[in-house]
Amino acid sequence: MAGPAIALEYLILFLFFGFLIFLLFYSIATRHILRKSIPAGSLFLILSGLALFGYINYLNEKKEASQKFLGDYKLNNLDKKDCNNCKVSLKGDFIYDIIVNEKIMDMENGALKQQQIFQVII
């Protein structure tokens, strides 16, 4: 049932941005008739600002939602093998480190980095 809802969401976005493009071209085409171009241009600016505000708000909500999952989690399996001393450290901006025996694992070649992890005891 999610398919029609997603399709409707994209259809509404397509129509909204299509209407914005129509308003832009209409206000440019009728630039010599101020009674038509000023209201169309004003509506274009208001709706563009509303769209920009909505997009920035969406990005902020997405970032705030991801912040509550930051921290260290126990990792049970690593490369299809049991791992007793493995953790995943989730950081901001969707970055993570895999920690094996208090060493950070290098994600490029699967080896452990020489950098040690120091535990802070509070």
Confidence check: pLDDT of 111 > 60: no
**Model pTM score:** 0.58
Residue among 90, 40, 48 at smallest CA distance from 69: 90
Contact 39, 45 (CB under 8 A): no
Task: Output DSSP code: residue 105.
Answer: E
Confidence check: pLDDT of 2 > 60: yes
Q: Name the more confident of 20 and 105.
A: 20
Residue among 66, 86, 65 at smallest CA distance from 75: 86
Q: What is the pLDDT of residues 56-97, one digit of tens each?
A: 999 899 888 878 888 888 888 877 888 888 888 888 777 888
